[in-house]
Amino acid sequence: MSAPKKLVIIGPECTGKSTLCSALAAALNTPWVPEFARQYLDEIRRPYEEPDLFQIALGQIALEDAQLKQMKEWLICDTDLYVLKVWSEARYGRCDRHILESIACRHYDLYLLTDTDIPWQSDPQREHPNASDRRFFYHQYRDIVQQSGCPWAEIRGNKEERLNRALEAILSFH
């Protein structure tokens, strides 16, 4: 039996990543790995600080690795450590070397990049509501997936169009 393929949904905040993960998981009849940062930030009950990002990275890795052991074909990840890199560089002007080392050690098979073409929805954990910031971060993630060496597809449109584009990308990957 071959190892499961790891698919990452990546993009700026509030671009439908979690919604798409859930829809893909249902369509493919598989569980998905949530974004650990949400849980972590809910639990600390204070503004996050730079050292928290490494703890978030460890939690994300642990969730992903635990789920990977149970998967057969696809592991759907709501983000990867590149999000922490972008987040850290935007907020602190640098990224912890342990996060960078972890990025270098992780392998993914397919990226789905979510576009900013859906409306912003306020959430206490979201930090960049204006359109120019959202486009800036979209371009950051686009550069990452283009340079990753992995196949990738841009995901845009309404929920149904996004799911269809994602499924097309997965089918064309095989």
Residue closest to 11 by CA, chosen among 128, 164, 170: 128
pLDDT of residue 120: 65
**The CATH classification of domain 5-173, taken from the options 3.40.50.300, 3.40.50.150, 3.40.50.2300, 3.40.50.720:** 3.40.50.300
The DSSP line for 85-139 is HHHHHHHHSS--HHHHHHHHH---SEEEEEPS-S-----TT----SHHHHHHHHH
Tokens 């949400």 -> residue: 38
pLDDT tens-digit readout, 13-61: 889 999 999 999 999 998 899 999 989 999 998 899 999 999 999 999 9
The DSSP line for 16-63 is SHHHHHHHHHHHHT--EE--HHHHHHHHH-S---HHHHHHHHHHHHHH
pLDDT of residue 3: 79
- Model-level pTM? 0.93
